[in-house]
Structure formats: C-alpha cells, structure tokens
Amino acid sequence: MKVIVAEGAGFCFGVKRALKMAFEAARKGDGTVVTLGAIIHNPQVVARLEREGLRVVKNLDEVEGGTLVVRSHGLPRGVLAEAEAKGMEIVDATCPFVKQAQERAAQLEREGHAVVVVGEKDHPEVLSITGSLEGIATVVDGTAKLPELPEAKRYGVVCQTTQPQEHLSAVVLDLLSKSREIKVFNTICEATFERQESALQTAREVDLMLVVGGRNSANTRRLWELCRDAGCDAYHIETADELEPEWFEKKHQVGITGGASTPQWIVDDVVAAVERI
C-alpha cells in the first residue's frame, strides 16, 4: 500500500507565527496569560499551550489584567478596546492575511460601499472582520442565493481567508444582477488555495483520503469535503487513534493531508500508523 502526503499539509505561515508568539507569551509568565477562544482550531496544540500557562477564556470578565494573546483569527475592535480598558497587555497574533481582510473591509466601508463578507457567519475570523467596521456587514456563505441585501448603489466584497474560490465567485456573480458597481477584494489566503488544490489532486490519485485536523477547524472540514466530492473514500480524523483497519481493506493508495492548524507531529503520527496497518 502506497502512502502519499499532499503538499502543503499542516501549519500555514499565519498559524506558525501565532503559535510562536503564544508560546513566547506563555513562557514569559508575567501574570495571567489568556486567549479569548482557542488560538487555533486544534485541541492537541491548545492543550500543549495550556500546559505552558496559556489559558483559554470565553470572555474577558473572567480576567483582571494580565496579557491577552489575540488568536490567529483576530478579534473585533470592541473586544480589543475592552482589553485595553482593563489594562491588559495585548500580543496581537492575528494572521496577517486576516488582518488584511479586516483592513480591506474597513476601506470599502469608508469608500461608501455596502460591505458583503463571504464566509461562515459565526466563525471567529468573520466576526473579527465584521467587528472592524462602524456599521453592519452582510455575511453570506456562497452556497445559496443571496439573502435580501441593504439597498445600496455600491457593494464591496471581501472573503474569509479559508473559503473556497467558488464561494466567492458565486457571490460576486449573484451581486452583478443587483448592482452596477461592485468592488471585490479577493482575500482568500494563497496558502489555503494551494493546500486545497494539492489535496484535491491527491484525492484524485488515491483510493482513500485521510484529512487530519481539529473537528472545529473550518479549513480542515473543507479539505475533507473537497476530497469526498472528488469521489474517493475520505475520513476526517483528529489523531491516529481514530484510524480503523477496515478502512484500508482493498486499498492500494492512501492520501494524507492536514489543515492549516494541524501540527506536523500529528500528520507524522498518522503516516506512521497507516504504514503499520
């Protein structure tokens, strides 16, 4: 049985940067060090950070002072203002590509566009983008027709960095029937696009695809959906412990990929477990 690891599997630049900053803040150990929500969507990595002293909290009411490490998904500016008012030191580990999406959305608003964000309404990254605005943005996921939009002469579009290209394209095409002036910033992360293309290519060449990453990771889930839709058997797992021997019966080629928040050591564990099977 041949095992193929897709190119680009595992940590992206933004996640590596965020974790480096988080571990440094935790090890510095000056008082309370927290993140508002998990810094990345991977339970195993979050557990390691907790052992180093970085605590995950649900809201800032749980802390008084200390250090706030901003998760890679970013935070709404109102939350950052609340942290500053508490006298917290802020370590901004927002992914630069997410930061760019926030800035582009704010630019569109300043220019007088009604802002449309393509993404998952309740995803922390999308909340950080919409939270960078003075007004209210419309969030659409690109998988269905547009909802009723606020009346506007001009619309401006940005995208959650981990969305598939086709979702953005579908929203822009739909908007063309509603407005004669649309300004679009394609804020999809290039690394995300390349990882999806590599996973899809690998899925077309194998009998079975394993997508490794946190259950709560949106980009990992999309990788699994792409692989599944490519026509091969595909499973989304968090660790090698979830592998079932019967998955590999009569399989000759197995592909493995990992989401942007999946550490290399977990991917390596899965590869080793598959090779033992």
Proportion of the chain above pLDDT 70, given as a percent: 99
Is residue 104 located within the same domain as residue 177? yes
Proportion of the chain above pLDDT 90, given as a percent: 76
Q: What is the pLDDT of the chain when averaged over all its residues?
A: 93
**Using one digit for the tens of pLDDT, what is the confidence trace for 40-58?**
888 999 999 999 999 999 9
Residue 82 is encoded by which pair of tokens? Answer: 């609340």
**Using one digit for the tens of pLDDT, what is the confidence trace for 11-40?**
888 999 999 999 999 988 667 999 999 898
Maximum C-alpha span of the chain: 61
Going by C-alpha positions, the residue among 96, 46, 104 that lies closest to residue 72 is: 96
Is residue 157 located within the same domain as residue 86? no
Give whichever of 3-12, 177-186, 187-196, 247-256 has the largest mean pLDDT.
247-256
Domain boundary residue among 54, 70, 93? 93
Is residue 110 located within the same domain as residue 167? yes
Is the model's pLDDT at 99 over the cut of 90? yes
Cα–Cα distance list, 254 to 144, 150, 241 (Å): 33, 48, 17
pLDDT at residue 252, as a whole number: 95
pTM: 0.85
pLDDT at residue 30, as a whole number: 67
Find tokens 């998760």 and name the residue. 71
Strand arrangement, sheet containing 155-159:
138-140, 114-118, 155-159, 182-184
Residue with more model confidence, 81 or 146:
81
Is residue 6 located within the same domain as residue 18? no
125 catalytically annotated: yes
**In this structure, what CATH number is given to the domain that contains residue 265?**
3.40.1010.20
Is residue 194 located within the same domain as residue 168? no
Is residue 178 located within the same domain as residue 244? no
Domain boundary residue among 184, 218, 253? 184
Is residue 215 located within the same domain as residue 175? no
Ranges of beta strands (E only) in the chain are 2-5, 33-36, 54-57, 67-70, 89-92, 114-118, 138-140, 155-159, 182-184, 208-212, 233-237, 253-258
- What's the whole-number mean pLDDT along residues 241-269? 95
**Could you say which of 50, 64, 125, 197 is catalytic?**
125
pLDDT at residue 144, as a whole number: 81
**Rounded distance, CA 61 to CA 48, Å?**
24
pLDDT at residue 181, as a whole number: 92
User: How many structural domains comprise the chain?
Assistant: 3
pLDDT at residue 116, as a whole number: 96
Is residue 172 located within the same domain as residue 241? no
Phi, psi of 93 (to 5 degrees): -100, 20
Secondary structure class of 205 (helix, strand, coil): coil
**Using one digit for the tens of pLDDT, what is the confidence trace for 199-218?**
999 999 999 999 999 998 88
243 contacts 277 by C-beta, under 8 angstroms: yes
Secondary structure class of 91 (helix, strand, coil): strand
Domain boundary residue among 147, 166, 184? 184
Which of 14-23, 27-36, 102-111, 249-258 shows the lowest mean pLDDT across its residues? Answer: 27-36
**Rounded distance, CA 57 to CA 88, Å?**
14
**In this structure, what CATH number is given to the domain that contains residue 70?**
3.40.50.11270
**Using one digit for the tens of pLDDT, what is the confidence trace for 57-94?**
999 999 988 999 999 999 999 999 999 999 999 999 99
Residue-range definition of the domain harbouring residue 113: 97-184
Residues facing 156 on adjacent strands? 115, 183
